[in-house]
Amino acid sequence: MTTATDSPQDQGFRLSQLIYDTRYRAITIQVIAMIAFMLIAAFLIRNTIINLSALGKDIDFGFLFNRAAYDINQKIIPYSSDDPHWRATLVGLLNTLLIALLGCILATIIGVIAGVLRLSKNWLTAKIMTFYVESFRNIPVLLWILAFMAVLSEALPTPRAFRGETPSASMWLWDSVAVTNRGTYVPSPIWGEGSVFVVITFLLSLLGIWAFGKYAKRRFEATGDILPSFWIKLAIFFVPTVLVYFLLGRPVTLSYPELKGFNFSGGLHMRNSMLALWLALSFYTGSFIAEIVRSGILAISKGQTEAAFALGLRPSRTMNLVILPQALRVIIPPLISQYLNLTKNSSLALAVGYMDLRSTLGGTTLNTTGRELECMLLMMLIYLIVSLFISSGMNVYNKSVKLKER
Amino acid sequence: MSTTKSLSYVRKEILEQQPAPRSQVGFTRWVRENLFSGWFNSILTLVSIFVIYKVAAAALPWLLGGVWDASSLEECRAVLNERFGNTHYACWAVITERWNQLLYGFYPDTEYWRANLAFFLMLASLAPVLFDKIPRKMLYLTMAFPFLLVWLVWGGTLWGVISVAAGFVLGGVAFKLVDRYGSMALSAIAAVVVAAIWWLFISPSVVDGLNAFLPFGHLQEVQSRDLGGFMICVIIGISGIALSLPIGIVLALGRQSDLFVVKTICVGFIEFIRGVPLITLLFTASLLLNYFLPPGTAFDLTLRVIIMVTLFSSAYMAEVIRGGLAALPKGQYEAADALGLDYWKAQRLVIMPQALKISIPGIVNTFIGLFKDTTLVMFIGIYDMLGLSNAIRANSAWNGIYWELFIFIGLVFWICCFAMSRYSQWLERKLRTDHR
């Protein structure tokens, strides 16, 4: 007599098991999915090859080593129109990264200030911040970029307005910053002899701050003493560098913008295209970050603050030791995606003529060489790598602040 | 007796009730608590008042003193010079004159009613999806709406869209028939095959015949390149979201699946799309999509953009739905298994209805993002509102006008997006109470 616990007799493999038996069905489905995927890929590739050959084109990345023959007005590394396309691409990529980095920093500052002020007890300030957040969040970033560009190029004075006995415009901050409709000129450092030591000292003091932070933490955990670490860190930040600077006889000097002829010269010229893009992206993303910060702080229940007060912690220490570590856990993951959004939105540089990756590789290079396929693929690949780098880097940070569970 | 004597004073009558101190009631109290509760707060208030005063002093006269009736910027400035002696005021006339163009692009002006009708039908067919108090019968309108939209906006006879709809109906019938006998996968394949046969081989000749015979419901045909303005943003946004929903569901399920190959393909697709900017995908649509398709196929640009936007938003949609799936308690999956439902039945009857309901706020937020991003189509030569604002500025009559157009466009977007975000916040609150 057979019981229910007996396994069914092995009747050998039947074809129907491929569909009805869960052990085999998983394999069947995956094989079908794989075949379908490869068929679609083959279909697309075959079409591409046929279409390309009909146009007499091939897939060849050799054009990257040809002379680019166009100029880029905004560059971090040396570049001239005689350089090859890959160098133009690199200049564009660096410009994209520059605007992404500057944008992320400014957006975080704006976002944190706006988010905290929106929670302020001051009714008027809270309302102004609500107005800022809601107006920036709900209007396309492209419109903001164009609007900022229009402000900079239409509403600001021309360099000519600074001329003459009674100029109609004047420079800011004790004649060091010139804000004109052709761009903003700020003082730039001139690295004189021995300035390398100043830089090295500065980097070493950064290292010192980090080491001191570690030491203070270890000491706190061992003895319970809390050092006034903020002031000490501030001292390490400034004192050695300033000391070395004066000991070496001020090797670093500033070059101030000066009015020469019809335009300013000297100093660092920040183009309107870059400023508009930077400000618009920062204010737009800042409004999202403000909401993230606000919800992060609100997510910490009031009991936490009360418990910290009951333990006798001072408000500042409550913020540092109790509220912020918990709020950061809520804030970081959406913050990562905002940084990614900002980086991707920097491709809207096209609207104002800032030469980023899309405007060099995906713009002028693409148009002059006529290699759409290669340029687009390369550009997507680079954006993808940048995005993956940012998200993985931020994920490492996220892991370090995450709740350590057993 | 003696104790009362020793007290020096005892009040015999009750004091008259006094009103609360002036500083503790009404407006004064509110101001003290909310604006001047400490030195820092007072500084904040003063700074805020200063900022508001500066902005208002600069913007209000400009906004309110504007000219509403003129046919060019010069005329506008002449009127302003006459009225105020200077031209530091808005020229709203550009909005009144180009209003129709900003909303409808180059749509033929005798046919505006079609666009308006499509817009109201869209609102009506979205209502039952967004508010569960609306009668469920309205969902039939929702199902018919995509076909009505195509017919109303692009014109032609009704037969074309009816035949496309008939393909879905035939596929559905085939699904039901096969579903009685066997597994979900087989019936899905049957449905796709039947629908494909109808669309590819039978429907074109049937439609041609019917068109020649009985041109039923014929509307003037409109080319895609004549669409523009606010209308094209709404069309691209709505079709992108609606089409991406099913793809997003499949991708989200694939990403959660145990099957390695399926999971890898889905994760790869989602991460690729989310890692590149929309603008590169739009340029792909305008430059490259024809390379990937069989030689000789030529889509119009609007359709190509809709395809790319759909792919783009389906990756984001997949992540939203994955969030919804992850938010469901594990007991729901186990309960469905315990009832003996197979994977697809469990998804269809137990998991998806709940997961989708939780995801609606996220879907709305995705839509807000996508709707704002539709402005990027201006880069590939589609005249949305921003593209039109450039075109208007290129006209000699309005050369040099910026703010009036930007403010109008911004206001249109702001109203739409703000309303949607308020809706999604309302829904989030409602859903939260449902769970507790």
Q: Indicate the residue type of A282.
A: S
* Complex confidence, ipTM: 0.86
Regarding whether A181 and A32 lie in a shared domain, the answer is no
Cβ separation B259–A154 shorter than 8 A: no
pLDDT digit string (tens) for B20-31? 887 787 888 888
Across the interface, whether the CB atoms of B51 and A128 are under 8 A apart is answered yes
Q: Which of A52, A139, A379 sits opposite B280 (nearest CB)?
A: A379
**For A265, phi and psi rounded to 5 degrees?**
-135, 165
Contact list in B for residue A35 (CB cut-off 8 A) is none
Say whether both B399 and B412 belong to one domain: yes
Please tell me whether residue A13 adopts helix, strand or coil conformation. Answer: coil
The answer to whether position A204 is within a domain reads: no
Residues B170 and B77 occupy one common structural domain: no
Q: What CATH number does residue A383 fall under?
A: 1.10.3720.10
Looking at the structure, do residues A38 and A179 belong to the same domain, yes or no? no
Q: What average pLDDT does range B114-136 have in this prediction?
A: 88
Last residue of a domain, one of A36, A54, A72: A54
On whether residue A9 sits in a domain, the answer given is no
A94 and A34 in a single domain? The answer is: no
B32, part of any domain: yes
Euclidean distance between CA atoms A286 and A348, whole angstroms: 17
Within 8 A of A150 by CB-CB distance, chain B residues are 402-403, 406
Chain A CA closest to residue B403 = A147
Same domain, A96 and A27: no
Whether residues A133 and A43 share a domain: the answer is no
pLDDT tens for each residue of B368-391: 999 999 999 988 888 888 888 888
CA A246/CA A127 separation, integer angstroms = 47
Q: What confidence score (pLDDT) does residue A62 get?
A: 81
For residues A147-158, one letter each, b for 16 or more C-beta atoms within 10 angstroms of the residue's C-beta and e for the rest, the string is bbbbbbbeebee
DSSP readout, A225-264? ----HHHHHHHHHHHHHHHHHHHTT--EEEEPPEEETTEE
With respect to residue A69, please indicate whether it lies within any of the assigned structural domains.
Answer: no
Rounded to whole angstroms, the Cα distance separating A380 from B283 reads 11
pLDDT in tens, B288-329: 888 888 877 777 888 889 989 999 999 999 999 998 888 888
| pLDDT tens per residue, range B186-215 | 788 888 888 888 888 888 888 888 877 777
Query: What's the burial of A394, exposed, middle or buried (CB within 10 Å: 0-12/13-18/19+)?
Result: middle
Q: Do B56 and B75 fall into the same domain?
A: no
Q: Is residue A26 part of a domain?
A: yes
Instruction: Using the 3D structure, point to which of B195, B218, B241 is the last residue of a domain.
Output: B218
| B325 and B356 co-located in one domain | yes
Kindly give, in sequence order, each residue whose CB lies less than 8 Å from that of residue B208, ignoring residues fewer than 6 positions away.
none
Answer yes or no: do A289 and A361 share one domain: yes
Put simply, the answer to whether B259 touches A29 (Cβ < 8 Å) is: yes
**Residue B13 falls inside a structural domain:** no
| Residue B435 pLDDT | 46
Q: Are A336 and A322 in contact (CB under 8 A)?
A: no
C-alpha B431 chain-centroid distance: 20
Tokens representing A351 are 């609207």
**Domain-located, residue A158:** yes
The CA-based dihedral angle spanning residues B358, B364, B365, B369, taken in that order and rounded to the nearest 10 degrees? 150
pLDDT, tens digit only, all 406 positions of chain A = 445 555 555 667 777 777 677 777 788 888 888 898 999 999 988 888 888 888 888 778 888 888 888 888 877 788 888 888 888 889 899 999 999 999 999 999 999 999 988 888 888 889 999 999 999 999 999 999 999 998 888 777 777 677 666 666 666 666 667 777 777 777 777 777 777 888 888 888 889 889 988 888 888 888 877 777 778 888 888 888 888 878 877 777 777 777 776 677 766 777 888 889 999 999 999 999 999 999 888 888 888 889 999 999 888 788 888 888 888 888 888 888 899 999 999 999 888 888 888 888 888 888 888 888 888 889 999 999 999 888 888 778 877 777 666 5
Alpha-helical (H) ranges within B374-402 are 385-394
Cβ(A276)–Cβ(A148) below 8 Å: yes
- The answer to whether residue A3 is domain-embedded is no
| C-alpha dihedral (B257, B259, B264, B270), degrees to nearest 10 | -20
B43 touches chain A (CB under 8 A): no
Residue B250 lies in a domain: yes
Are residue A32 and residue A177 in the same domain, yes or no?
no
Q: Closest-CA residue in chain A for B365?
A: A138
Output the six-digit token pair for B359.
Answer: 């995801």
Contact B87, B81 (CB under 8 A): yes
Q: What is the pLDDT confidence band of residue B248, given thresholds at 50, 70 and 90?
A: very high
- Chain B residues in contact with A372 by the CB 8 A cut-off are 287-288, 291
Confidence at B436, pLDDT banded by 50, 70, 90: very low
CB pairs under 8 A between A and B: 149
Give yes or no: residues A31 and A125 share one domain: no
| A182 and A310 belong to one structural domain | yes
Distance CA B21, CA B63 (A): 43
Residues B251 and B334 in one domain: yes
Dihedral sign of CA atoms B151, B114, B228, A151 in order: negative
DSSP annotation string for B289-343: HHHHSPTT----HHHHHHHHHHHHHHHHHHHHHHHHHHHS-HHHHHHHHHTT--H
Q: What share of chain B in percent tops pLDDT 70?
A: 97
Residues A166 and A294 in one domain: yes
What is the distance between the alpha carbons of residues B424 and A137, in angstroms, rounded to a whole number?
14
If asked whether residues B269 and B166 sit together in one domain, one would say no
Instruction: Say whether residue B49 is in contact with chain A using an 8 A CB cutoff.
Output: yes
Same domain membership, residue B46 and residue B69: no
B96 domain residue, yes or no = yes
- What is the number of structural domains in chain B? 4
Set of chain A residues whose Cβ sits within 8 Å of the Cβ of B34: 121-124
How far does the CA of residue B48 sit from the closest CA of chain A (Å)?
6
Tell me if chain A has a CB within 8 Å of the CB of B261.
yes
Examine residue A207 and state whether it is found in any structural domain, yes or no. no
The confidence band for B409, taking pLDDT boundaries of 50, 70 and 90, is very high
Distance between first and last Cα of chain A: 51
Task: Give helix then strand counts, H and E, for chain B.
Answer: 20, 0
Q: How far is B289 from chain A (nearest CA, A)?
A: 9
Identify whether residues B41 and B78 lie together within a single domain: no
Length of chain B: 436
| Domain termination residue (choose one: A54, A76, A101) | A54
CB contact under 8 A, A138 and B414: yes
Give mean pLDDT, residues B342-360: 86
Judgement on whether residues A49 and A109 belong to the same structural domain of the protein = no
Does B352 fall in a domain? Answer: yes
**Would residue A388 count as lying in a domain?**
yes
DSSP string spanning B167-216? HHHHHHHHHHHHHTTS-HHHHHHHHHHHHHHIIIIIHHHHHHHHHHH--T
- Nearest-CA residue of chain A relative to B404? A147
Same domain, B424 and B297: yes
Given A32, A54, A76, which residue is the final one in a domain?
A: A54
B245 and B176 within one domain: no
Q: Are residues B77 and B52 in the same domain?
A: no
What total of structural domains would you count in chain A?
A: 2
pTM for the structure as a whole = 0.86
Interface contact flag, B265 A33, Cβ < 8 Å: yes
Domain boundary among the residues B100, B118, B149 is at B100
A319 shares its domain with A360: yes
Domain ranges, residue B386: 224-435
pLDDT in tens, B72-87: 888 888 888 888 877 7
Number of Cα atoms under 13 Å in the Cβ half of residue B132: 5
Distance CA B208, CA B156 (A): 12
Residues B352, B260 within the same domain: yes
User: Is residue B172 assigned to a domain?
Assistant: yes
Interface of B with A in 281-310 (CB under 8 A): 283-284, 287-288, 290-295
Q: Establish if B3 belongs to a structural domain.
A: no
Angle (nearest 5°) at CA A299 between A110 and B354:
115
On whether residue B21 sits in a domain, the answer given is: no
Residue A189 has a pLDDT of 75
- The parent domain of residue A372 ranges over 85-187+256-401
